[in-house]
Amino acid sequence: MNNTWLIRGGTVCTPDGMQQADLLVDNGCITAVGEGLTAPGAQEVDATGLLVMPGFIDIHTHGAVGVDMNGADKEGLAKVSAFFASQGVTGFLPTLLTDSHEALLQYVHTIGMAAPEITDGAAVLGIHMEGPYLCAEYKGAMPEHLLQTPDFSKFMQYQKASGGRIRRMTVSPEVEGVAHFIPKAVAEGVSVSIGHSGADYDTAWEAIRSGAACATHTFNAMKLLHQHFPAISGAVLESDIYAEAICDGIHLHPGTVRILLKAKGLDRVIAITDSIMAAGLGDGRFKLGVNDVIVKNGDAILADGGSRAGSTLTMSRAFANLRRFTGLPAFELAKLLSANPADLLGLGGRKGRILPGYDADLTLITDEGAVSATFVEGRQVYSAG
283-328 per-position pLDDT tens digit? 999 998 888 999 999 999 999 887 888 999 999 999 999 999 999 9
56-82 per-position pLDDT tens digit? 999 999 999 999 999 999 999 999 999
What are φ and ψ of residue 167, in 5° steps?
-105, -25
Q: How far is residue 302 from each of residues 102, 147, 219, 276, 291, measured CA to CA in Å? A: 24, 18, 19, 12, 7
For residue 108, pLDDT beyond 60: yes
For residue 1, pLDDT beyond 70: no
Start-to-end Cα distance in the chain? 21
pLDDT band with cut points at 50, 70 and 90 for residue 349? very high
Catalytic residue status for 151: no
pTM (2 decimals)? 0.97
Helices and strands: H and E segment counts in the chain:
10, 22
Calpha distance 64→323 (Å, rounded): 23
Which stretches of 267-357 are assigned E, i.e. beta strand?
269-272, 284-288, 291-296, 299-302
CB 52 within 8 A of CB 364: yes
- Of 22, 248, 274, 359, catalytic: 274
pLDDT for position 191: 98
Mean pLDDT of the region 100-117: 97
Strand partners, 293: 286, 302
User: Contacts for 340-343 with beta carbons within 8 Å, 24 or more apart?
Assistant: 340/242, 340/267, 340/268, 340/269, 340/270, 341/57, 341/58, 341/59, 341/270, 342/57
